Structure 1
């Protein structure tokens, strides 16, 4: 089927069968589609709303083109969608360091900023992490040090093909949802923050189809794409093929409520400074947010029985210097 015929199908509002979606991905990434048709296709999906089957077909196509690495059992990722527009500190990045410091292997998938001034790769690069290291080095780092940062463009080179049309459209499309679902280490445990609570079930269905062992898909209080310490958070839990809905409050982890204003970040330099201060033990609303998310990560990673124990282990990882050591491990050159 030609891409034009696929576009006409999409414009009717009817869902695309998996094989049609996979063929559309093949055409898009082969750069054989006129940009106007590519834009119309992505817009049609956005207006109607992508289905789990379409998202899964896109994920599987891109994974087939990705540079993947192996990972230890129990590896977890804390990659979210971004795009919440809240300009907070780098919560998921700090969470990854704390979770690793508490003993769970972490393959942190990340990219440049989506809507904030500083994405995970921006702040880690500022702190000395080499974004260009080889896939082989990342695999070794994860095995030896228990943490690796997987810079998305290094693992998903095919995405370059759709960058111009995404930039021209200027609004979120299918591709904004793919990052957390394409971890190059194929982590089976994930803490995923999403920018819209309506897509939690969508993510959960894809995670199950891809063999996730345990995951939380989180729509945070006040619109954050993290567990927010400001109030009640909506969580869709995936566990061994089943889905259930939860609400999670910071008090569940024994933590105080913190207003979103206390999490407001700045530019890359300011956010890197705040992250280093957090790892040095500074008490702040940022620390509370990271402890909350790390508590969930440790539960998902099997290192804590509940959120309260997870928060205690997170605090210990920070105060003992174990989380700071994980940052050092990320920056050191392997012999």
Structure 2
């Protein structure tokens, strides 16, 4: 069809039919080439959400975003990313703090993130407050990862084609599949990941999509207290992907040798507030914030293959 199958895809979704992975990839390629109207984009996103996204559809969309991304080239195959879907209960920037701890423990971290859409401080915001430049080009980010073990990839700089979708998402004001694509589209091709998922119903879907895309090890986590992180307040559901194998289990903070924390002690604030929390954690200041960061850093270190299990990673 003249629109590259977009109308047919919208019709299929509206009738409750799933798209094949290749079909989903082709539709997003058309959208990201600027060849779809905002009305068509909105119809596609809402029809997909209403039907319910599948792993095949998620993987297809991620394939297109990966193919169109500005790539970061690093001469190693053990890169780690810690990212989240956003939309969870607000805390300080846990995954970013955990990523820096994991880098300090010797992991090679290719951190992919953005400014906040749902809280006062996103990963880009807190890193700026910590003095990190978020505007480096791809070559400079690659050098940072190789030389110091940490590099930050600011999502808009690496996924410029999403500019055609951004105004539609903002106008819709509701969750769409793009909330779940960010953690699946690391521009450096990180194959080891800790992914926080705000909607526990999407854990298995995202896990199956990752298995289709190829991943060495990924932990997808969603806690019972509403965090898109590992939690020290309540049990956390974990779906682990190791190659083609997918397993599911529950983790309590005590499993990692940590005490439970009061939820109010973990609330976040402005980027400057969260940067101060991160600095206190890096300085070894004990307390609930440090325990939460250690739990997530331990999970990241395990995902990176640098520890035999969660407790080993925390220790």
* TM-score interval (norm. to shorter): over 0.9
Task: Provide runs of 4+ in structure 1 moved above 4 Å.
Answer: none
Deviations 1:242-300 (A, max 9, x none): 01111111111100001222110111221111111221222121111000011111112
Where structure 2 has 5 or more consecutive residues not aligned to the other structure, the ranges are none
CA displacement 1:4-52 (0-9 Å, x = unmatched) = 2322222111111233222321221122222222112111111111111
CA deviation profile, 1:55-95 (whole Å, cap 9, x unmatched): 111001111110112332322111111111x2210000000
CA contact (8 A) 1:80 1:193 kept: yes
Instruction: Number of aligned residue pairs: give it.
Output: 311
Q: TM-score with structure 2 length normalisation?
A: 0.95
- Quote the Cα distance in structure 2 between the aligned partners of 1:288 and 1:174: 32
Long gaps (5+) in structure 1: 313-335
* 1:81 alignment partner, one of 55, 67, 85: 85
Corresponding position of 1:256: 259
Quote the residue 2:297 is aligned against.
294
- Which residue does 2:48 correspond to in 1? 45
Q: What are the within-5 Å matches in structure 2 for residues 264-303 of structure 1?
A: 264-303=267-306
Deviation at 1:53, TM superposition (A): 0.7
User: In the alignment, which residue of structure 1 is the partner of 2:190?
Assistant: 187
- Aligned partner of 2:233 in structure 1 is 230
CA-CA distance at 1:302 after TM superposition:
2.1
Deviations for 1:288-335, whole angstroms, at most 9, x for unmatched residues?
A: 1000011111112222222222112xxxxxxxxxxxxxxxxxxxxxxx
Question: Using the alignment, how far apart are the partners of 2:204 and 2:298 within structure 1?
Answer: 22
Measure the CA separation in 2 of the matches of 1:291 and 1:106: 16
Structure-2 separation of matches of 1:34 and 1:67: 24
Question: For 1:154 and 1:70, how far apart are their aligned partners in 2?
Answer: 15
| Residue of 5, 17, 21 corresponding to 2:20 | 17
1:55–1:174 Cα contact (<8 Å) kept: yes
Give 1:187 deviation, angstroms. Answer: 0.9
- With structure 1 as the length reference, what TM-score do the two structures score? 0.90
- Whole-angstrom distance in 1 between the partners of 2:191 and 2:8: 36
